[in-house]
Amino acid sequence: EGVLAPALNSNPSTSLSDDLTVRVRNGTLRGIAVGTRSRAFRGIPYAAPPLGPLRWQPPHQAEAWTGIKDASAFGPGCESSEDCLQLNVFAPRATNSSSKRMPVMLFIHGGCWKSGSSALYDGTDIVDFLGDVIVVTINCKCSPAKTH
């Protein structure tokens, strides 16, 4: 089960209080309603920040959190923060029939390996237009690591 699976296919019968609060592997998220029929979960950590002994190592799982994590805002871009390995999920609002599997569109930002951020690409319009699709955008390290 991936970090996203529960968030992508939750419905009111399997989420905590409504379709904006979902459980994922590392804890509970509270997203926001966006567009005309979409919901967004933003700034979800997908790996531990590559700091100290984790630098130049394979990715490590992000730390779990307690309580409900606010997932209403995009996380920082990697050009401004080392703690930027976060993703955003845009999905249809849950209905009684929303437990079906849906295709997932993954978007990795451009930037010529120098800049860019997942915050530049909001999946709300795609989900509103297409309906049964999930859009995931991610931040990724796109420039040499900071040396200070």
pLDDT digits (tens, 9 = 90+) for 72-82: 999 888 777 88
Length of the chain: 148
pLDDT tens digits, one per residue of 85-118 = 899 999 998 764 456 789 999 988 776 556 667 7
Phi and psi for 135 in degrees, rounded to 5? -115, 130
For residues 27 and 118, the model is more confident at 27
Element holding 89 (H helix, E strand): strand 86-92
Predicted TM-score (pTM) of the model is 0.81
Other CB atoms within 10 A of residue 118 CB: 25
* pLDDT tier for residue 15 given thresholds of 50, 70 and 90: very low
| Predicted pLDDT at 6 | 43
pLDDT tens digits, one per residue of 130-148 = 989 999 998 887 655 544 3
